[in-house]
Amino acid sequence: MIRAELSKLVSLPATWTTLGWTLAVNVLLTFVIAVGDAPVAYSRAGFVVLGVLATCSEYTGGQIRTTLTAMPRRVPQLVAQHTALAALTLPAALVVALSGPLITLAVAGTPVSAWGVAETTAYLTLLTLVSAAVGVLLRHTLAGVGLLLGCLFVAAPFVHEYLPDDMVTLVVSTPVLLIVAALTYRRRDA
Amino acid sequence: MRSRRPAGWLGGVITIDGLVKRRGGKEILAGIGFEARPGRVTGFLGPNGAGKSSTLRILLGLDRAQAGTALVDGVPYPALPDPVRTVGAVLDGSGAHRSRTGRAHLRWVARSAGLPPSRVEEVLALVGLADAARKRVGGYSLGMGRRLALATALLGDPAVLILDEPLNGLDPEGIRFVRTFLRDRARSGRTVLLSSHLMGELAETVDDVVVIDHGRIVATGTLAEVTGAHRNLEDAFFALTSGGGR
């Protein structure tokens, strides 16, 4: 099942377009506005799109019916889909997380913080999984991307002082949203 | 249990019993039941909105019924040990994402069932899509999309084939292909269950008939039994469903 889900992700052109643009924007922003991993604050939007696309693309062309007739046990299928997504995202997130600090190292000679890179990679991967869970709940790509970007870029700065640090929020919200998504997905009409 | 079955038994008995489906306070299925057996083409007939698609979706585990059972060889679809090799389903549309190629779509389905990539090429050739395998599904015609859906259903060479309105949107050549193909499947001992609102097109294809109207079964039996004293299946159908707001 994981291999089938991975094959699905890899054969979707939008997966590669999204990742390509995300990396390009991150590199560009590193040169233009900032140093180190600061541009990730913007380029993380690409990972939101990637996550939402991974689950919402099921609802294009009636693919969800093919998915659920081939793999009718829904929770294992959803777990396989998120596992495949994580497996694809992790290396991509690492590349994006490394790109900024490496450029800064080359240009300014600032050493790369291994811990910082690891934290950014984990952040981006979790963000992608949360986005995928939101995609499962909304079943609509634009709505999902809109809601998540609204949360990240509009709502988050307002409530920031009441929330623990971004990473802690994400570590808590990822499993919660994944479980809510799985429970909804298990019961509803496809 | 399996060893008691006669040699060459493929299985594929569909048993639907007491199925009730309500959506938004409206009763779509009012406790329907029927059976579709191996070696026969069963036509599930009724006007649009009678509950045909809902029944097939419940049978495939896509939708949930409020009451009743829909079983394949005594098991609900989601509990089948090997769904792709047991049941193939052709619902409306292609069932594929428009930006993937036909071949890529079949590949992931094959992979989900542990089928080799060579099987993908076989079904592509079988439905006449080999030349379009590298094209994106978004560029397919309606008929090509239907053929891709059929290819997907045939990947596991299943004992049961379930088709929702398989003749919709097909040209005469396509209709002829589907008819002959379904007859051949039944002759090889497999179960074919197809829904349709086109009566005239089906009389030569089906062995058994189940007629549904307003979420209720109004007739079941062999083609001859359901046609009865009427001139043909079409007349019988209109007589049976005439109470339904026509």
Q: Using a CB-CB distance cutoff of 8 angstroms, which residues of chain A are in contact with residue B107? A: 7, 11
Q: What is the pLDDT of residue A37?
A: 64
Higher local confidence (pLDDT), B199 or A91: A91
pLDDT bracket for residue B1 (50, 70, 90): very low
pLDDT at A163: 66
Q: Which residues pair with A52 in a beta bridge?
A: none
Identify whether B104 is part of a domain.
no
Structural domains of chain A, count? 1
Q: Any CB–CB contact under 8 A between A182 and chain B?
A: no
Domain of residue B182 covers: 2-96+159-241
> How many percent of chain B have pLDDT more than 90?
73
**CA nearest A187 in B: which residue?**
B64
**pLDDT by residue (tens digit) across B135-170?**
999 999 988 999 999 999 999 999 999 999 988 878
Interface touch B63/A190, C-beta < 8 Å: yes
Residue A92 has a CB neighbour count (10 Å cut-off) of: 23
**Nearest CB to A189 within list B62, B87, B113:** B62
Predicted local distance difference test score (pLDDT) of residue A36: 61
Q: Provide the shortest C-alpha distance from residue B122 to chain A (in Å).
A: 18
- List alpha helices for chain B, DSSP H: 52-59, 83-86, 102-112, 117-126, 142-154, 172-187, 223-227, 233-241
pLDDT of amino acid B234 = 83
The three-point CA angle A50-B111-A94 to 5° equals: 30
Asked if residue B86 belongs to a domain, the reply is: yes
In-domain check, residue B236: yes
Contact B89, B153 (CB under 8 A): yes
Out of A62, A70, A189, the one facing B113 most closely (by C-beta) is A70
| Mean pLDDT estimate for chain B | 90
- Angle value at C-alpha B70, between B67 and B74, nearest 5 degrees: 125
β-partners of residue B213 are B216
Residue A186, chain B, CB below 8 Å: the answer is no
- For residue B151, being part of any structural domain is answered with no
- Residue A20 and residue A93 in contact, taking contact as beta carbons nearer than 8 Å: no
Q: Which residues contact B212 (CB under 8 A, 6 or more apart)?
A: B32, B44, B45, B46, B50, B51, B52, B55, B218
How many independent structural domains does chain B possess? 1
Q: Is residue B22 in a domain?
A: yes
Residue with tokens 């790109």: A99
Task: List, as ranges, residues 56-85 from A with C-beta within 8 Å of B.
Answer: 57, 60-63, 65-66, 68-74
Question: Which residue carries 């307003």 as its tokens?
Answer: B214
Determine the pLDDT at residue B245: 42
Residues of B in contact with A74 (CB under 8 A): 78
Q: Can you give the pLDDT at residue B227?
A: 87
pLDDT of residue A34 exceeding 90, the answer is no
Does B145 map to a domain? no
Residue the block writes with tokens 């199925």? B19
Q: Is the pLDDT of residue B3 over 60?
A: no
**pLDDT score, position B9:** 65
Which residues, in sequence order, are CB contacts of A182 under 8 Å at separation 6+?
A75, A78, A79, A136
Q: Name the residue facing A7 among B64, B87, B108 (closest C-beta).
A: B108
Among the ranges A121-125, A161-165, B199-203, which has the highest mean pLDDT value? A121-125
- Measured in angstroms, the CA of A12 and the nearest CA of chain B are apart by 6
Going by pLDDT thresholds of 50, 70 and 90, the confidence category of residue B7 is low
The boundaries of the domain holding residue A35 are 2-187
- The residue-averaged pLDDT of A88-106 equals 91
Would you state the structure tokens that stand for residue B219, as one six-digit string? 């007739």
Q: Alpha carbon of B210 to those of A184, B199, B201, B220: distances in Å?
A: 34, 12, 15, 4
Q: Do B100 and A70 touch (CB under 8 A)?
A: no
Query: Rounded to the nearest 5°, which phi and psi values hold at A162?
Result: -90, -10
pLDDT digits (tens, 9 = 90+) for B191-243: 999 999 887 777 788 999 999 999 999 999 999 898 888 888 888 888 888 65
**CATH at B82:** 3.40.50.300
